[in-house]
Amino acid sequence: MPLTVSTDAFEVVTDPAAAPPTAAADRPVRSDALDTLGATSNYLAASGFDGAAGSTALMAGIAGAADDTMPIAVGLGSDDLTAADVRKAAANLWRAASKVDSLTSALAAAAADDLGADVALAAVVEGMLLASYGFNEHKGEPPEADALGRVVLAAPDGTDTTAAVGRAAAVAGGIALARDLVNQPAGALTASGLADAATEAIEAASADGDPAAGTASVEVWDRERLEAERCGGLLGVNAGSTEPPALIRMRWQPTAEPRATVHLVGKGITFDTGGLNLKTFEGMEWMKIDMGGAAAVIGAMSAIVRLAPDVAVTGICCCTDNQPGPTATKPGDVLRIRNGKTVEVLNTDAEGRLVLADGLSLSVEEEPDLVVDLATLTGACMVALGDKYGGLMGNDPAAIERAEAAASAAGELLWHLPLPPEYREQLDSPIADLRNIGKNRYGGTLHAGLFLSEFVGETPWVHFDIAGPVRTDADAGELSKGASGFGVRTLVELICGW
């Protein structure tokens, strides 16, 4: 995974005065304390620095700066700090110092009173690791890597350095893995390739973890197994493809009695042409990202195995491409899902819900305490919420509240949308149990959520529609242009904070 640095680059000290010299050093600044800095505040104001969370400014020539150290002001805002603020500040600090070889940062110490020492340190390390991310596998001449390879972090005495850095590395690694998978061109990542990547990731995480804490495993269902297991939704979407489908089932089982059992289900459409309901060029341009839900589940599972929570977790990814081949499912065809319900397919471009129907049906058979599915499911969600918020729906108020709390703690934006029973009639079919799209164009995200709810019964379930935030158009904080890895941090927070 292309994080250009590892945690070996980080040295944590509890006495900043004893920190070894570096080429650059930050000066964390609260925006409401700028006027206490004397002449320095005038210099910063002239440079446009206002102390907002994540803002940075070089302070060359400022009185009191060591001759051989470049000071960098980094803003902390004026309100109570969040871990997201600190990650953003650390990431932007990394970018500001990327051309020097070493940096000393007091960010973790400055944020410890607001967040707690361990959380603050983890946020700083994670932000810096993610800022170092770059996907350059297919460039003939990859851009020059950051020079910054040594970071000295000041933290309060008593900080659990090993745990904080270990958590940051696990989460950042999971996010980087998800980004890698989504950034990969569809021609280089088939359903079988996605299954191989998941297997390798879980094996690597197991090798890094404590074998006494629990066990991890991966099982991949091929076409023959999918037919035997009655996964008609996944097979129906795959019908027009020359590439075989795959259902990936990853498991984490703690040695201790688990406090809960949670299933994560991801949509893994490695490329979506729309099938026979073919997309336009503009609609198809970014459809390599349509496996972003599966990528988030794989990334989260790799982090969970490393962090070894006492929660049993199963990750299920339903993977195929959606192609308009001569054997493709046709509008009007009827598919039988694993739970026995039949679906009239009236739009082959509403395929994600068909593969998820099999994954959800399989998941609830084991009666978990919670099922969470993630999918780049509807363009309608982007129309409603833009490209920074994901949609959140579910059938259980406690489960929705738990998901909202996890997303808030993780700093990922989810907006609760309803599952209105008044709209269920939109899915009525005269020849099958339900149709895969609503009868009009309005409320498409809600129709999709209602469709999925047909396959979970009474099991507590939440659905994340991540079509908007799955990718970003520019570097921003810990995000790098391209895939965002959205969802990984929320899933890890939900599991480890159970």
pLDDT in tens, 220-242: 999 999 999 999 999 999 999 99
Decide if pLDDT at 439 tops 70.
yes
371-390 mean pLDDT:
98
Per-residue pLDDT, 45: 79
Model confidence at 273, pLDDT cuts 50, 70, 90, reads: very high
277-305 mean pLDDT:
97
428-449 mean pLDDT:
97
Does this model's pTM top 0.75? yes
Closest listed residue to residue 204, CA positions, set 250, 162, 236: 250
285-294 mean pLDDT:
97
Per-residue pLDDT, 61: 56
Token pair of 369 as six digits: 């305490």
Per-residue pLDDT, 1: 47
Chain segment 146-162, per-residue pLDDT in tens: 889 899 999 999 999 99
Decide if pLDDT at 454 tops 70.
yes
Positions annotated as catalytic residues are 279, 353
Question: Look-up: residue for tokens 């941090």?
Answer: 489
Decide if pLDDT at 75 tops 50.
yes
The type of residue at 247 is L
170-192 mean pLDDT:
97
Q: Which residues, 6+ apart, have CB-to-CB distance to 401 below 8 Å?
A: none
Per-residue pLDDT, 141: 84
434-461 mean pLDDT:
97
Decide if pLDDT at 39 tops 70.
no
Per-residue pLDDT, 41: 77
Per-residue pLDDT, 11: 94
Per-residue pLDDT, 58: 86
269-286 mean pLDDT:
96
Model confidence at 2, pLDDT cuts 50, 70, 90, reads: low
The mean of the pLDDT values for the chain is: 94
Per-residue pLDDT, 63: 46
